[in-house]
Amino acid sequence: MLTVAEASERILADIKPLDVETVPLRQALGRVLAEDVSATVTMPPWSNSSMDGYALRSADITPVMSGEPVKLRVVGTIAAGQFASRPVKRGEAMRVMTGAPVPDGADSVIRKEDTDGGTDKVEVRDARDVWKNIRPAGEDFQRGDVLARRSAPIKAALIGVLASTGIAQVKVFRQPRVAIISSGDELVDLDNFDEVVEARRIVSSNSYTLDALTRIAGGIPIDLGIAADTKASLKRKLDAATEYDLILTSAGVSVGDLDHTRDVFASLGGKQKFWKVKMRPGAPLAFGMLNDVPWLGVSGNPVSAMVSFELFVRPALRKMQGHLALFRRTVTVTVDEEVKIAAKLTHFLRALVTRNQDGELVARLTGIQSSGVLTSMVKANALLIVPETSPTVPKGSRLKALMLDQSLEETSAFSL
């Protein structure tokens, strides 16, 4: 049995970033840049006013500094999008709007509020803006500057920068298409929910959770449906799965008589790399390659499937998309209750991590930790990590927790 860290390392060693595609800029959000991008233009292209006011020569308003208002001739108005037809000379001012190019000759923009607002002549009454309110050309970036490097995650601000430099189409790493196969004779999809009502079957909830987790991780889920617990059925599904970027199966990788997935995988020529990890839930994890397509076989238990996804599938999908930061962050928490684990395995317990009044992170378990109890996963925002060496963790101890979402960062109360 491998440790969690060993299993993660073994999987990621066999995962490569996918090929590159070009997408329209708006669709690049959340993707990873596949090339360095340099500025094709200078931004801003001209020095421009950061105020609505009057562009003028500071030397002309020296008397204002000693409290004496000065009157200047207004020789034009420049709105954003317009350009001055001549420079500003001694004794002159030009009205400028925010964003408008500052005319040659001017070295200050006096805000309108510090003048009488005149249109033919203007009286300047305050000199606090001397030398101010001019944003120089190239303040943001200069033509030729490297704006972003290959592997940069594309966020909203970068989309704006790419737009500013004329990039309508962006080279990004392809999103992995994940073939999701559930297996088990006890399972139905929602179109056969009447059998669930009759208490003869259960819904394949993994088909939904793994789909959702794949999307969150930036992948494209393809539901290949439910395989029956027969070799022939599993073979058909696995065969169909090899045209995708990753094969994700759930169930059938334990030691039951009908756990055929690993055998069928091998019979198709798949190379199993390892099976089983020293963890709970999710010990029966299988990893291998089928025709160069990575396969991850997670346990069927609904929580095990999700925990294995978080620890092993998500980083793999991120690596395929070109991300360098593959893993979620762990945080140190104080456990708010005594925690016991029964087996000598690293435990990942469903927990709710919150901040107490002192800003300290505190963890409480969210309920029954049986690997079939999905409702305790619903309430959790973290997995509390209990090392196999700590069978009993007293209340008040410090442990690590793997955050599963952004909930710690968000609040219902306005908090500025």
CB of 227 to Mg ion, least distance (A): 10
Q: Any idea of the CA torsion for 211, 216, 217, 219, to the nearest 10 degrees?
A: 50
Residue closer to ligand AMP by CB (options 189, 336) is: 189
User: Which of 251, 286, 345, 365 is close enough to bind Mg ion by CB under 5 A?
Assistant: 251
Q: Do the beta carbons of residue 87 and residue 94 sit within 8 Å? A: no
Q: Using CB under 5 A, which of the segments 25-33, 100-108, 174-182, 250-258 binds Mg ion? A: 250-258
Residue closer to ligand AMP by CB (options 165, 209) is: 209
Q: Are strands 37-38 and 70-78 parallel, antiparallel or unpaired?
A: unpaired
Q: Using CB under 6 A, which of the segments 51-59, 104-112, 121-129, 180-188 binds ligand AMP? A: 180-188
In degrees rounded to 5, what are phi and psi of residue 78? -120, 120
Give how far Cα 406 sits from Cα of 30, 217, 316, Å. Answer: 16, 14, 20
Q: Does 264 bind Mg ion (CB under 5 A)?
A: no
CB of 258 to ligand AMP, least distance (A): 8
Give the integer Cα–Cα distance in Å for 268 and 265. 5
Q: Does 204 bind ligand AMP (CB under 6 A)?
A: yes
Q: Provide the 3-class DSSP secondary structure of residue 62.
A: helix
279 binds, among Mg ion, ligand AMP, none (CB under 5 to 8 A by kind): none
Q: Do the beta carbons of residue 178 and residue 213 sit within 8 Å? A: no
Which x/- pattern, by CB under 6 A, does the window 246-285 give for ligand AMP?
A: ----xxx-x-x-----------------------------
CB of 167 to Mg ion, least distance (A): 49
Q: Does 308 bind ligand AMP (CB under 6 A)?
A: no
Q: Which residues pair with 127 in a beta bridge?
A: none
User: Which of 58, 151, 164, 205 is close enough to bind ligand AMP by CB under 6 A?
Assistant: 205
Q: Does 221 bind ligand AMP (CB under 6 A)?
A: no
Q: Which residues pair with 227 in a beta bridge?
A: 183
Residue closer to ligand AMP by CB (options 294, 300) is: 300
CB of 171 to Mg ion, least distance (A): 43
Q: Does 184 bind Mg ion (CB under 5 A)?
A: yes
Give how far Cα 302 sits from Cα of 298, 305, 369, Å. Answer: 10, 5, 12
CB of 382 to ligand AMP, least distance (A): 23
Please, which of residues 324-383 interact with Mg ion by CB under 5 A?
none
Q: Please enumerate, as own/partner, the contacts of 341-345 that have beta carbons within 8 Å and a separation of 24 or more.
A: 341/280, 341/386, 341/388, 341/390, 341/391, 342/391, 343/280, 343/388, 344/388, 345/278, 345/279, 345/280, 345/283, 345/388
Sole residue written with tokens 């990039």: 167
Q: Which spans of this chain sit near ligand AMP (rule: CB under 6 A)?
A: 182, 184, 186-187, 204-207, 250-252, 254, 256, 299-302, 372
Q: Which spans of this chain sit near Mg ion (rule: CB under 5 A)?
A: 184, 251
